[in-house]
């Protein structure tokens, strides 16, 4: 079996986000000539890629949102179920998305 560390490897298919790993992907070739790629510490790589992508100012694409949900182990409908955030006064914070009836109300 031949093993070598790749200088640059596009790990996008493994992670789900655009990721290039440097000097860490391990390519193994067995006696039959079959090649396999191993990415060490995939859990940490996924978490790091998710955090870095969320810090980028560009809008998330649908495939990136799906990848982030998988990385964070969130169900697909989790975006619709936002938790109520209590304040010091005990009143929940209202969502920024105003309803039609809220838009028609005159300011107090």
First to last CA, the chain: 75
Q: Which domain holds residue 30?
A: 2-97
What pLDDT shows up at residue 108? 43
Does a structural domain hold residue 103? no
Backbone angles phi, psi at 7, to 5 degrees: -65, -50
Across the chain, mean pLDDT equals 81
pLDDT band at 7 (very low <50, low <70, confident <90, very high): very high
Sign of CA dihedral 56, 57, 63, 65: positive
Does a structural domain hold residue 106? no
Dihedral in degrees, nearest 10, Cα atoms 51, 56, 60, 64: -40
What pLDDT shows up at residue 88? 65
What pLDDT shows up at residue 72? 86
Average pLDDT over residues 16-21: 93
Q: How many domains does the chain have?
A: 1
Does a structural domain hold residue 89? yes
Q: How does pLDDT run across 70-105, given as a tens digit for each residue? A: 898 877 765 555 556 666 666 665 555 545 454 554
């Amino acid at each position: 079996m031949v093993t070598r560390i790749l200088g640059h490897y596009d790990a996008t298919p493994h992670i789900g986000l655009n990721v290039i790993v440097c000097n860490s992907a391990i390519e193994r070739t067995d006696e039959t000539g079959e090649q396999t790629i191993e990415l060490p510490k995939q859990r940490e790589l996924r978490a790091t890629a998710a955090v870095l992508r969320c810090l980028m100012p560009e809008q998330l694409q649908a495939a990136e949102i799906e990848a982030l949900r998988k990385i964070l182990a969130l169900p697909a409908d989790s975006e619709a179920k936002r938790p109520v955030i209590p304040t010091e006064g005990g009143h929940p914070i209202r969502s920024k998305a105003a309803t039609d009836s809220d838009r028609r109300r005159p300011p107090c």
